[in-house]
Structure 1
Amino acid sequence: MSFSELGLHADLLRAVTAQGYTTPTPIQQQAIPAVLSGRDLLATAQTGTGKTAGFTLPMLQRLSEGKRPGKRQVRALVLTPTRELAAQVGQSVATYGQHFSMRSHVIFGGVGQQPQVDALKPGLDVLIATPGRLLDLLQQRHVDLSAVEILVLDEADRMLDMGFIHDIKRLLRVMPKQRQNLLFSATFSTEIQGLATQLMDNPAIIEVARRNTTAETVEQAVYHVDRVRKRELLAHLIQQYGWHQVLVFTRTKHGANRLAEQLSKESIPAMAIHGNKSQSARTRALTAFKGGELQVLVATDIAARGLDISELPHVVNFDLPNVPEDYVHRIGRTGRAGSEGEAVSLVCIDEKDLLKGIERLIKRDLVKREEAGFAPDPSIKAEPIENGRQNRGQKPARRGTDSKRSERSTKPAPRSRSRSARS
């Protein structure tokens, strides 16, 4: 099947072709016709399968075919959990909508709001936003959502996990009841089904990937190592095997900072990215990493969503996540769109039960590797893991601080092997 068979406008097809895409992914094949029909949609799919284009393309077409109000107003609203994902969706809207006379803008917390206020004043057709900052601007009467025709909740499971549900409900109250609702999630959890029941009217349901699976293109392995030698082993693996682009996950922000500093002292260029970093610092780190100037990017789970790096070769779990599903999402940063990747986990005695939980979830035993000189000391006893995942139900952070919400682990997003419009 080609994009031209999905009923898309010629100007959208031009934009898709210019990006080098010819064949829609499975989520796009199903989602695009469903959205074009005007139905509500509940879709679960592996991250990296092209779900953003799956809603962006038909959303732009529906807006272009609809009647625009006399005054330009927000007709489509896309809510995302993180700045990075908001920026990614905003780029997708700009790329695919380049032949339409529509205005779009991205707003999120962690940066000054005046440029965002100035962008809202002339009116927008499409607004992409994180919930906290959008609610702040709404309460200050800088934005009007009374004309929203299409609402997209992207990475809805992540938004629930970050405590955005109350902000979302406040935003829903100021939108028209008659609108098209599109909910995209990496998981089909009970919470997501409950939200869909409240939000949607007889939605089309798409589930293109078996839940909690890992991509066949990702080679997974475990190194058992003493907790105090993890950093030493990581540096050894990077240098010994010439790993040139490595995304490393730690459990805490402090741990990410410390590891990045230690690696840099060993002549391995590294930077940390997490919720306490300013937007400019996060952007600099991502740009340097994507451009190959930075060898290692050390991240907490907040960086897991919206971080799209084509053909990322290596992901390392420096600390195993406290929630098994988050392992699936972390390693899904590699092996995207059919490319091969490697996911390595450094596991100490404290994390033995976490490893068992991951292997139960993915229904397979991970390959165990040994590196000469790094065998763990069998006399070391397990210790409790500190700074673990915070409990759900905890009071969410103050609105307007999207980047500093509790860095709870995210739900998983398995992968697809399709090569198509990943954005």
Structure 2
Amino acid sequence: MFDFDMLGLAPTLLSALKRAGFTEPTPIQNQAIPLALEGHDILGLAQTGTGKTLAFGLPLIDHLLAQPGKPEPKSVKALVLAPTRELANQIADSLRALTEGTKLRVCTVVGGQSIGKQIALLARGTDILVATPGRLIDLMDRGAVTLGAVRHLVLDEADQMLDLGFIHALRKIAPRLGTPRQTMLFSATMPKQMEEISRAYLTDPRRVQVAPPGKAADKITQSVHFLPKAAKPARLREILSRDLDALTLVFARTKHGAEKLMKDLVADGYNAASIHGNKSQGQRDRAIKAFRDGTVTTLVATDVAARGIDIPGVAYVINYDLPEVPDNYVHRIGRTARAGREGEAIAFCAPEEAELLHEIQKVMKAEVPVASGKSPLIARGSGSGRQAGTAPRGT
């Protein structure tokens, strides 16, 4: 196993890593950092929770430290694009910890916050800007930020940004960026459109991959309960009651469903909060902080939070509703087993969700072990069916 001292990073960064308690790089960091330090474009494929932020953040900061000088007003030296507010804030927090004690400035611009304050923040320029695409375009349209000085571009969780219409935003942003530049694209999956983006925006990229796309983290114990939709509330309470102090992330499919589920849990005495698109940024930030601190032990979320929560202590992820996009299952359960820990992912599958489970298992190339109930037969094109195995109820 390598250590960070062997990767060629600046002494300032090595000191920051020691302060933060990082001693050994993860596989994706081992592969990506030396190549990025050499200036190569990077196409990184790694499941969530594998340390991608440091994989691009360390070489990015190393390059900026070697290029002293204040940014011009409204200008940006390095741009990091992320799909959600939560992920953008998480990335920025990690980068600020690494730049502590340096003159590098890290700014964040996301939707749901005062654009006036963000305009004032950008007026003096910044070394690193972490942004969601929509808000960045709003600021570009207002003349609040110029991107001609950008020499480093990072596209994080690019596959989820695709789901959010990111390709249209990228076509507006990319022509404004400086050249030549280094581009690093990180994704947990590699859909066809991602290959097209890679060809269009990366130059002779080095591909680094530490796990097959769609593979769940090795230390996650998975299981599925087959049950009627009406039985889900009781089964959820049964599971939560086994360990009331454990941090548990529960995923619902809709904003309305997440809010109702949270309120029902609170009414029954469970310590729950919710996070979804109808919540203000302040409400979302407070809910995540309370969950991180352990003052809230059950957080009900929609997929808006699936890649924005990096809380090492999450013990359980419960898919109360299965996601309609199979890849989102992998991202959801990746909220547990962070930083080398173990975790448990539990899925509920009602009869009408059986096809969703089948698609999830195709993406993962693995069966999810059955904890209770029986899988319904799923009709296929030729009329043939398939039935998953069963396990003793309640295991």
- Shared fold, TM over 0.5: yes
Q: What is the aligned partner in structure 1 of residue 342 from structure 2?
A: 340
1:225-269 Cα distance to aligned partner (Å, 9 max, x none): 221121121112211454632100111111101100111110002
Does residue 213 of structure 1 match 2:215?
Answer: yes
Structure 1 position 50 matched with structure 2 position 51: yes
**1:309 maps to 2:311:** yes
Q: Secondary structure at the match of 2:314?
A: coil
Letter of the 1:42 partner, please give it.
Answer: L
Q: How does 1:69-80 map to 2 (within 5 A)?
A: 71=72, 73-80=75-82
Structure 1's consecutive aligned runs of 4 or more residues displaced over 6 angstroms after TM superposition are none
Q: Once structures 1 and 2 are overlaid, which stretch shifts more, 158-167 or 5-14?
A: 158-167
* Mapping of residues 168-183 of structure 1, within 5 Å: 168-183=170-185
SS in 2 for 1:96: helix
Structure 1 CA distance for aligned equivalents of residues 122 and 362 of structure 2: 48
Cα distance between partner residues in 2 of 1:269 and 1:225: 25
Identity %: 43
Native 8 Å contact 1:243 1:314 kept in 2: no
* Preserved contact between residue 12 and residue 99 of structure 1 (Cα < 8 Å): no
Q: Within 5 A, what are the aligned runs for 1:223-372?
A: 223-242=225-244, 244-370=246-372
- Distance in 2 (CA, whole Å) between partners of 1:358 and 1:185 is 18
- CA-to-aligned-CA distance 1:77-116 (integer Å, 9 cap, x gap): 1111111111111111111111321112101111111111
Structure 1 gap segments, 5+ residues each: 383-423
Cα distance in 2 for residues equivalent to 1:148 and 1:354? 41
- Root-mean-square deviation over aligned CA pairs: 1.9
Matched, 1:33 2:25: no
How far is the alpha carbon of 1:199 from its aligned partner?
0.4
Count of matched residue pairs: 376
Rounded to whole Å, the distance in 2 between the matches of 1:366 and 1:155 is: 24
- In structure 2, the residue corresponding to 1:191 is in which secondary structure? helix
CA distance in 2, matches of 1:268, 1:361: 34
Q: Give 1:195's aligned amino acid.
A: I
Alignment-derived partner of residue 5 in structure 1 = 6
Q: Please tell me whether the aligned partners of residues 246 and 314 of structure 2 are also in contact (alpha carbons under 8 angstroms).
A: no
- Tell me, yes or no, if the aligned pair for 2:252 and 2:258 is still in contact at 8 Å: yes
CA distance in structure 2 between the partners assigned to 1:64 and 1:195 by the alignment: 29
Structure 2 residue 100 is the aligned partner of structure 1 residue 116: no
Q: Which residue pairs with 2:22 in the alignment?
A: 21
Deviations along 1:164-219, whole A, 9 cap, x unmatched?
Answer: 22112111111123111111111122111100101011111111112221222111
Q: Deviations over 1:346-393 (max 9, x none)?
A: 1111112222222333333322223xxxx79x9xx99xxxxxxxxxxx
Shift of 1:132: 0.8
Deviation string, structure 1 residues 54-87 (Cα, Å, up to 9, x no partner): 1111111111112536736311011111111111
Match of 1:365, SS state, is: coil
TM-score by length of 2: 0.91
Structure 2 portions without partners, runs of 5+: 379-395
Q: Highest relative contact order (Cα 8 Å, sep 6+), 1 or 2?
A: 1
**Aligned equivalents of 1:215 and 1:94: distance in 2?**
27
Q: Is the 8 A contact 1:311 1:340 kept in 2?
A: no
- The corresponding residue for 1:402 is none
Question: Residue 147 of structure 2 corresponds to which residue in structure 1?
Answer: 145
Matched letter for residue 197 of structure 1: R
User: Equivalent residue of 1:76, what SS?
Assistant: strand
